[in-house]
Amino acid sequence: MATAKILIVEDEIIIARELEARLLGLGYEIAGIASSGREAIALADSTQPDLVLMDIVLQGDMDGIEAATEMGHRWSLPVIYLTAYTDKTVLQRASITDPYGYIVKPFSEAALQASIEIALHKHAAERAFRTSEKRERERIAELSAINKELSQEVVERRRAEEEVRQIAVRDELTGLYNPRGYFLLVKQEWKLACREKRPFALLYIDLDGLKQVNDTLGHAEGDALIVAAARVLKESFRDADIVARLGGDEFAIFTWDCGVLHEDLWARLQANVDRANQQDNGRHPLAWSVGSVCFDPKSPESVEELLKQADRQMYAQKLAKRDAAESRRTKG
């Protein structure tokens, strides 16, 4: 076990030398003897003692309490006060420095050793606690940083996963649901409709003339026409409705409101189409054929069967348009 190194601060040289002899006899090492507060600070700085035996009344402009305060601020040195006085005012000043003990002169060797050992033990325990506390703070800061980093990784991973999910169910060109996303969502709504006996509507939409645009103006113009159609559909239906591009020039819509199959929907769609065509500055006009069907909870059919019915209606409308156009050309 290492020998404790003690700094003696005592302005009466006889007492200082007697104290030195006693400490050496007890097996302690002497860091030095100072007779003033400033000399004590200088010696403490150069020798770094383990403990200071500090007389309260010293020579010079700095007493023992002021010197102990400075040592505490600089090095957190444990100080035991040596005093022949028990003046309350002095003791109150001394107590502010949080001393490790008091020894009243004259003192016995046993009392001296006991005070020193208690002070050293207390200081060692406090230092160990401060070290442990510092390590704990550092560990908490480290864990906090790790947790922050992990939290950020989780956020980024979730964002990436959400992007992947969006890619998996979204059409890249239009941002609408793709067939996978459409059927996943609509089948869930179909189950709810069957359970709650609620009607809903499915619409099947096919762009008119997309092939001609691709063949004559290029696929870039064809894509622009598809994007314009998607924008009109999103504007014409509610956020709660499910609007999807099934592929190529085909779109599908799910809505809980079967009333949208009435004239107000067609009027709203046509108004949005007309506005889009006016904004396209003479490009190929947007037009489409639509088939629609309303789900009957009393005789439920699958989503696929309902979509086939809407598809047949759409195709019938498209043929009717062609026949009408052919008839006009023939009469012309």
Tens-digit pLDDT profile for residues 148-182: 877 777 777 677 667 656 668 899 999 999 999 99
* Rounded percentage of the chain residues whose pLDDT exceeds 70: 90
- Residue 186, domain member (yes or no): yes
- Number of domains into which the chain is organized: 2
- 139 part of a folded domain: no
Give CA angle at 72 (71, 78), nearest 5°: 95
295 shares its domain with 201: yes
Whether pLDDT at 253 is above 60 = yes
| Ramachandran area for residue 136 (φ above 0: left; ψ -120 to 50: alpha; else beta) | alpha
Beta strand 5-9 pairing with 29-34:
parallel
Same domain, 114 and 192: no
We report the CATH number of the domain holding residue 298 as: 3.30.70.270
Packing angle, helices 64-75 and 37-47, rounded to 10: 30
Which pLDDT tens digit goes with each residue over 63-121? 888 898 899 889 988 999 888 766 666 667 767 777 777 787 777 888 888 888 888 88
Question: 224 in a domain, yes or no?
Answer: yes
CATH number at residue 127: 3.40.50.2300
Instruction: Give a yes or no: residue 24 inside a domain.
Output: yes
> Domain ends where: 95, 111, 131?
131
Q: Which residues pair with 288 in a beta bridge?
A: 207
SS3 call for 285: coil
312 alpha carbon, distance to own chain's centre: 52
Domain annotation covers residue 212:
yes
Residue 66's domain spans which residues?
A: 5-131
